[in-house]
Amino acid sequence: MAFDIDTFRVAPGDKIRLDKRDPQDTPHVDPDDRAAAETRTLELNGRLEELQELLWAQGKHRVLVVLQAMDAGGKDGTIKHVFEHVNPSGVRVAAFKKPSDDELRHDYLWRVHKEVPGDGELVIFNRSHYEDVLVVRVMDLVPKSTWKKRFGHIRAFEELLVDEGTTVLKFFLHTSKEEQRERLQERLDRPEKNWKFDAGDLVHREKWDDYMDAFADVLEETSTVDAPWFIIPANRKWYRNLAISEIMVNALEALEMTYPPAPADIAEMTISD
């Protein structure tokens, strides 16, 4: 069956029950056919490379990809495996950590707006302004009356980006609590992964259910027609890579980009010795 990306898209008005969605799932793909899926992902990545080259050459559109997940949810792996062939000149990753003192002296979108893509650019947000309605909410960093209003700000902010020529694609990498346990344990057990271990992750892990509630609200409140969320079943890394590659290629194809026109007299030109 053809891969239908609408399976993952959150439509405005959808009610989201994350506990009813299986992070182990592999819609449209036989889970035993991992090899075929990996071959297809490589093909798609080749196409993504061509499309990103066009995006950069044409310098007309802007593309913003937002990645959100629980700790060890696969944001870094996605960046590595989906975008491995793109041209670093036109692509940038912006990671949003705990805000600095300077950032905290401004509104929460200040640091985010500075990082959005310019003409021809593809920018990947590793975490994003959504932290300001996720960790900030769950860890009680601001009162409810403050974070509640942010859904409206965020919808308006993204509408602004879209109106000014940005394609906005948002991915929630949906992993299970058990999968997180295995991945965090691996960070403890494998010396080459020790550097990734952060004891702070365990504090967030204890609040897993609160995070799931917060994510469900984010998905319900901020998935719009023009800046949609996609919920990606992400326990199986190969499936996550395939699904995101499919969605990326589909979105970039839809821009119907063309190379800039050649200079008028190019046909008469030759390069002399």
The answer for residues whose C-beta is within 8 angstroms of residue 150's C-beta and 6 or more apart is 108, 132, 133
Q: Which CB atom, from 71 or from 221, has the smaller least distance to Mg ion?
A: 71
Say whether residue 136 binds ligand ATP (CB under 6 A): yes
**What are the DSSP E strand ranges found in the chain?**
62-69, 91-95, 122-126, 166-174, 229-233
CA 12 to CA 224: how far, in whole Å? 6
The site map against ligand ATP for 3-42 (x = CB under 6 A) is ----------------------------------------
Say whether residue 71 binds ligand ATP (CB under 6 A): yes
In the set 15, 17, 20, 98, which binds ligand ATP (CB under 6 A)? 98
DSSP state of 159: H
Say whether residue 97 binds ligand ATP (CB under 6 A): yes
Nearest distance in Å: CB 252, Mg ion: 29
Q: Which CB atom, from 37 or from 212, has the smaller least distance to ligand ATP?
A: 212
# residues contacting Mg ion (CB under 5 A): 2
The site map against Mg ion for 42-81 (x = CB under 5 A) is -----------------------------x----------
- 8 A C-beta contact, residue 97 and residue 181: no
CA 235 to CA 222: how far, in whole Å? 24
Per CB under 5 A, the segment of 115-123, 164-172, 175-183, 194-202 that binds Mg ion is 194-202
Number of separate helices (H) and strands (E) present in the chain: 10, 5
In the set 96, 151, 208, 238, which binds ligand ATP (CB under 6 A)? 96
Produce one character per residue of 45-83: b if its CB has 16 or more CB atoms within 10 Å, e if not: bebbeebbbbbbeeeebbbbbbbbbbbbbbbebbbebbb
Per CB under 6 A, the segment of 25-33, 131-139, 235-243, 262-270 that binds ligand ATP is 131-139
Per CB under 6 A, the segment of 35-43, 130-138, 210-218, 226-234 that binds ligand ATP is 130-138
Say whether residue 135 binds ligand ATP (CB under 6 A): yes
Per CB under 6 A, the segment of 50-58, 91-99, 206-214, 222-230 that binds ligand ATP is 91-99
The answer for residues whose C-beta is within 8 angstroms of residue 162's C-beta and 6 or more apart is 168, 226, 227
DSSP state of 188: H
**Smallest Cα–Cα separation from 248: which of 8, 1, 2?**
8
At residue 80, what are phi and psi to the nearest 5 degrees?
A: -65, -45
In the set 14, 50, 189, 198, which binds Mg ion (CB under 5 A)? 198
Contact set with Mg ion (CB under 5 A)? 71, 198
* Footprint on this chain of ligand ATP (rule: CB under 6 A): 71-72, 75-76, 96-99, 126-127, 131-132, 135-136, 196, 198
